[in-house]
Amino acid sequence: MTVTEALKQAASLLASSGTITANIETPALDAGLLLGKLLHLDKAGLILNGKKKLSEKKYLQYQELLKRRLDGECIAYILGHREFFGLEIIVNNNVLVPRPETEILVEKGLELISARNPKTSKTILDLCTGSGAIAIAMKHKMPELEVWASDISKKALAMAHKNSARHNTRIHFIKSDLFSNIKNSFDMIITNPPYICSGKISSLAPEVKREPRLALDGGHDGLDLIRRIIQDSVQHLLPGGILLMEADNGQEPIIEKLLFNAGLRECRTFNDLSGQFRLISASYR
């Protein structure tokens, strides 16, 4: 079987998965990514080598990768990486896979922190850092930032360390249950915390349910950690400091009240590219 024939067969197999375990929206793309991983070829390389024969060993290995995808394992875990903000972030099942929509969090974070006094150094804390994607993207774009990143998971922090070293970004990592081990104050606290309601976890896509529940489950209303973050953030924000977080559509009215009650002001909300609420920020005065 040639490379092209194997790709066509795999794409057809993945396309039929809507009636099996996974619901794969991009079968041809996934088929190409998996074979490219196996043969160490990009999209152009697969086309150029389309008439070459696959060895039996490679064909069987390809079938194993396809089976993992059909069983509901996300493509990023199989590949071992995901692109985020133009950077290749290493991932495994100890961390949440960085989402394209979270890039908006980085974009807005860069915009807001840049508006702070340009004559002073700026410090930020990435709370619930996971793979380190947000902290690394911020530091990569603004090397002058002093960046701290924390997570409760030792395994997640190990992955974040690897990603930071991979992109040569100097970040201070600390194991902490939210602010429990945080002593400093910051110009910005940025976070993509768990915010999915516990009752909705079982209805998530199979590949999402394979991600760490610790990074998804926000409690009965999705706001358990957000409440704690808002309440304690005022002790770790410098005057005029900004709290910027990602949250779920529909949660903004409650979050706005929580922010106000905690003494945070200038609350602003931001939508994602689909026009749905995605981010909320507030300042500490």
From 132, 244, 129, 251, select the one nearest 189 (Cα to Cα): 244
Residues 146 and 261 in one domain: yes
Read off the tokens for 254: 């409650």
d(CA 120, CA 131): 29
Residues 64 and 175 in one domain: no
Residues 20 and 122 in one domain: no
* 87 domain residue, yes or no: no
CA-angle at 192, arms to 187 and 194, nearest 5°: 135
Read off the tokens for 147: 């960046």
Residues 147 and 24 in one domain: no
**Do residues 163 and 133 make contact, with C-beta atoms less than 8 angstroms apart?**
yes
CATH code at position 192: 3.40.50.150
Residues 49 and 190 in one domain: no
Residues 117 and 37 in one domain: no
Residues 17 and 141 in one domain: no
Non-local CB neighbours of 211 within 8 Å, separated by 6+ positions: 74, 93, 95, 96, 97
Handedness of CA 207, 210, 214, 219 (dihedral sign): positive
Backbone angles phi and psi of 264, in degrees to 5? -90, 145
Q: Tell me the residue range of the domain where 135 lies.
A: 92-284
Residues 102 and 175 in one domain: yes
* 182 domain residue, yes or no: yes
**Tally of domains in the chain:** 2
From 112, 113, 82, select the one nearest 100 (Cα to Cα): 82
The pLDDT tens digits along the chain (285 residues) read 999 999 999 999 999 865 445 678 899 999 999 999 999 999 999 999 999 999 999 999 999 999 999 988 999 999 999 999 999 999 999 999 999 999 999 999 999 999 877 667 899 999 999 999 999 999 999 999 999 999 999 999 999 999 999 999 999 999 999 999 999 999 999 999 999 999 999 888 888 888 999 999 999 999 999 999 999 999 999 999 999 999 999 999 999 999 999 999 999 999 988 899 999 999 997
Q: How far is CA 11 from CA 7, 14, 70, in A?
A: 6, 5, 11
pLDDT of residue 19: 46
Q: Which residues pair with 172 in a beta bridge?
A: 148
d(CA 191, CA 244): 7
pLDDT of residue 20: 47
* 65 domain residue, yes or no: yes
HSE at residue 14, side-chain half, CA atoms within 13 A, is 29
